[in-house]
C-alpha cells in the first residue's frame, strides 16, 4: 500500500513537471513568434519608447501649463518633433539637389575649376605630398581627376547610393517613431504603470527603482549625446554658411551624424578647413578654422555637463555604455548599452553593499 502511494506521488510530480515544461515552452514559443512578427517594427517601437521617456518631463510641464490637457500637450510635442525632422530634411534635400545641379552645370560648360595649391601644401607631414598631387591634377581640369579616379568612383558609387537610401529610410523611421512616442505620451500613466510592473516582475522589490533608473539613464543619454551633437552641428553649420561653403547643409548633416556616433569631428572638418583656405580670404579662413576647432572639441565640456544632469550614475559608466552599445548595435545601441551597463553597475553596488564586511 505504501509503495502504491509512493508511485502515485511520483507520477503526480512527473506530471506536474511535464505541465510546467509545456507551459514554459508554450510561453517561449508565443514570445518567439510574437518577436518575429514585430521584428520589422522593433526599430520604430524602441525609438518611440526612447522619445517618449526623453520627452516625458517636458510633456508633464507643458500639460500642466495647458490646464492638464495631456492630449494637446502630446500633439504639440509631436508637431514640433515632426517639424524638427521634416523641415531640415527638406532643406537638406534642396541644398543637395542645388549643389549637384550647380556642379553638373559647371562640368558641362567647363567653368568648374579649382585654384592651384600653394607649394607649402606638399610640405605637410604624411599626407602633404598626396594632397598636393591630387590638388594640382584637379586645378588642371576636373575631367582629368575624374578619369584618374574612375575605378574608385565606380566601386564606391553603389555604397554612396545605399547610404543615401539609408538616410531616407532613417528619416521615415524617425517620423513614425515620433508619432509612436506621442501616442505613448498620451497614455503616459498607464505606460509608466506597465513599465514598473514589468521591472518588478524581473527585479522584484527593486523594480520601481530600476524603472526610474532606466528613464533617467535614457534622458541622460539624450541630453548628453544627442544634445551635444545637435549643438555642435548647429554651431559648425552656422560657420559653414557664413563662410559661404558649398553644400553647407550636407556637411552639417554629416557633422551631426559623426558627432552622434562619437567620432572626432576633426576628421570631417580638416579637409573642409583646407578647402576654405583656397577660396576665402586669409582672415576669414583663420577665423573659421578657430571656430571649427573650438566647436569640434566642445563636446569635452558640453557632454559631461548635460549627461550628468538628472542621474546619480557616474558619467563614465554611462559613456562606456553609450560607446560600447553603439559598437554592438548602432545608434539604438547608444541607449540600450547605457541602460544595461547602468543596471549592471547598480546590481554590482547592491551586491557589494550586502556583502560588505563591517570594520
Cell of 186: 498620451
Q: In whole angstroms, what is the distance from residue 349 CA to residue 314 CA?
A: 12
Q: Domain coordinates of the chain in residue numbers?
A: 46-186
Cell of 28: 517561449
Q: What is the dihedral of CA 148, 150, 156, 157, to 10 degrees?
A: 140
What is the structure's pLDDT at 358?
A: 47
Q: In whole angstroms, what is the distance from residue 108 CA to residue 104 CA?
A: 6
Residues 275, 251 contacting (CB under 8 angstroms) = no
* Cα 240 versus chain centre, distance: 23
Q: Give this prediction's pTM.
A: 0.63
Q: Which residue has the cell 547602468?
A: 342
**pLDDT (tens place) for every residue of the chain, 359 residues total:** 555 555 577 677 788 888 888 888 888 888 888 888 878 777 788 788 878 877 888 888 888 888 888 888 888 888 888 887 777 777 766 766 676 666 666 666 665 666 676 666 666 666 667 777 777 766 666 666 666 666 766 666 666 666 666 667 777 877 888 888 888 888 877 777 777 777 677 666 666 677 777 777 777 777 777 788 888 888 888 888 888 887 777 788 788 878 877 778 888 888 888 888 877 777 888 888 899 888 888 887 887 777 766 566 777 777 788 778 878 777 777 777 777 788 787 777 776 765 554 44
Sign, CA dihedral 180-183-189-193, equals negative
End-to-end C-alpha distance for the chain, whole angstroms: 60
Burial-class residue 174 by CB neighbours within 10 Å (0-12, 13-18, 19+).
buried
What is the structure's pLDDT at 149?
A: 65
**3-class DSSP state for residue 69?**
coil
What is the structure's pLDDT at 359?
A: 44
The contacts of residue 58 (CB under 8 Å, 6+ apart) are: 77
Residues 338, 221 contacting (CB under 8 angstroms) = yes
Q: In whole angstroms, what is the distance from residue 51 CA to residue 89 CA?
A: 19
Amino acid at each position: 500500500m505504501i509503495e502504491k502511494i509512493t508511485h502515485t506521488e511520483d507520477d503526480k510530480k512527473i506530471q506536474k513537471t511535464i505541465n510546467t515544461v509545456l507551459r514554459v515552452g508554450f510561453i517561449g514559443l508565443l514570445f518567439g513568434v510574437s518577436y518575429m512578427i514585430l521584428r520589422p517594427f522593433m526599430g520604430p517601437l524602441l525609438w518611440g519608447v526612447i522619445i517618449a521617456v526623453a520627452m516625458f518631463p517636458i510633456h508633464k510641464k507643458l500639460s500642466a501649463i495647458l490646464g492638464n490637457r495631456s492630449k494637446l500637450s502630446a500633439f504639440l510635442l509631436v508637431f514640433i518633433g515632426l517639424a524638427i525632422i521634416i523641415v531640415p530634411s527638406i532643406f537638406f534635400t534642396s541644398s543637395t539637389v542645388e549643389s549637384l545641379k550647380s556642379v553638373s552645370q559647371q562640368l558641362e560648360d567647363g567653368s568648374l575649376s579649382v585654384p592651384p595649391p600653394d607649394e607649402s601644401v606638399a610640405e605637410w607631414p604624411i599626407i602633404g605630398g598626396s594632397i598636393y598631387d591630387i590638388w594640382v591634377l584637379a586645378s588642371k581640369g576636373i575631367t582629368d581627376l575624374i578619369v584618374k579616379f574612375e575605378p574608385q568612383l565606380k566601386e564606391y558609387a553603389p555604397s554612396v547610393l545605399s547610404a543615401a537610401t539609408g538616410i531616407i529610410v532613417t528619416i521615415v523611421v524617425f517620423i513614425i517613431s515620433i508619432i509612436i512616442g506621442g501616442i505613448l505620451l498620451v497614455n503616459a500613466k498607464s505606460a509608466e504603470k506597465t513599465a514598473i510592473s514589468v521591472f518588478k516582475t524581473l527585479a522584484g522589490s527593486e523594480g520601481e527603482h530600476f524603472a526610474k533608473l532606466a528613464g533617467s539613464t535614457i534622458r541622460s543619454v539624450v541630453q548628453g549625446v544627442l544634445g551635444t551633437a545637435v549643438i555642435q552641428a548647429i554651431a559648425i553649420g552656422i560657420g559653414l554658411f557664413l563662410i559661404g561653403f558649398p553644400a553647407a547643409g550636407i556637411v552639417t548633416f554629416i557633422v551631426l551624424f559623426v558627432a552622434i556616433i562619437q567620432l572626432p569631428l576633426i576628421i570631417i572638418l580638416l579637409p573642409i578647413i583646407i578647402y576654405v583656405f583656397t577660396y576665402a580670404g586669409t582672415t576669414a579662413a583663420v577665423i573659421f578654422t578657430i571656430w571649427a576647432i573650438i566647436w569640434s572639441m566642445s563636446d569635452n565640456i558640453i557632454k559631461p555637463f548635460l549627461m550628468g544632469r538628472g542621474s546619480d550614475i557616474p558619467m563614465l559608466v554611462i559613456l562606456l555604455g553609450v560607446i560600447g552599445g553603439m559598437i554592438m548595435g548602432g545608434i539604438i545601441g547608444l541607449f540600450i548599452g547605457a541602460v544595461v551597463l547602468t543596471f549592471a553597475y547598480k546590481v554590482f553596488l547592491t551586491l557589494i553593499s550586502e556583502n560588505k564586511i563591517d570594520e
